[in-house]
Amino acid sequence: MTSMQRAGNAGIAGHGRGSASARAADRSGHPHASFTPAPAHRSSTAARPPCVPSMAAGDDIVAVVRRRDGHTTHVRARIAAVTAAVVLLETDDRVPVATPPGSTVSFCVDGHTHDAVVEASADGWVSVTRPDDLVIDESRRVLRVKTRVHANWRRVGGTGSPRAVMVLDLSMGGMRVLAERHPDDVEGARMEVQLDDEVLSVEIRWCGDHDHDLLGVHGVELTAADGPTLGRIMRRIGALRGDPSNWA
């Protein structure tokens, strides 16, 4: 039994102490920051202090969708991820029929209405253009779910065999990985993570300590993922969360 397996069996796989650089990364909003669900409802009457972000991943919204044929419908959704160009919404299986590409979308956050256009939709998610006036909490741009998923990884260009690791949490932007200490696992290293039948290209952004001296915790960021890959990651996150929106 490896050190990593013993740590997992002891129930300490998710309890890294974290180095000073890792703790600083938490504060700066790197992808390994733990996801804290936002309140289901926000007050639209309370004044919002200056510089407080208006939206974060995990927020629930009700969007008004107007199709090109003039049909209007209301869609309940959750903010799954926000990039510079698009907002990804977690929805239910009926939404693709109701939100074809080109439909206009309006949603209200803290009393302010934002307008967007549907770019793509599929079972469980909808991608809309990011409104120019939308303010986002940069430390919570993506949903993150805690996991204990076994995977393999290796350094890009390395000659060694893939090594067993454990994915401690997963988001649209990256993951935290528990691995036995190895010279290849350093900040800035480009790695390939084999997650079931998915191969993800990532970069190690920070390296932290673990309660077990032979193990390390690494925060990694996705470096190359196309739309279909991101869609599969979204479905995996949804399945792990066991959300009733049924991404799986």
Q: Say what the pLDDT of residue 160 is.
A: 83
pLDDT digits over 108-127, tens only? 877 788 999 998 877 777 88
pLDDT tens for 5-30 read 555 554 444 444 444 444 333 433 34
The single residue listed with the structure tokens 């044929």 is: 69
Contact 153, 164 (CB under 8 A): no
In order of their start, the domains of the chain are 3-34+143-241 (2.40.10.220), 60-140 (2.40.10)
Give the confidence band of 248 by pLDDT, cuts at 50, 70, 90. very low
Give me the chain's average pLDDT, please.
75
Question: Sorting pLDDT into bands at 50, 70 and 90, what band is 220?
Answer: very high
pLDDT, tens digit, for every residue of 114-164?
999 998 877 777 889 998 888 887 767 777 778 888 999 999 988 789 999
Contact 91, 77 (CB under 8 A): yes
Cβ 21 vs Cβ 206: under 8 Å: yes
pTM tops 0.75: no
The pLDDT value recorded for residue 31 is 39
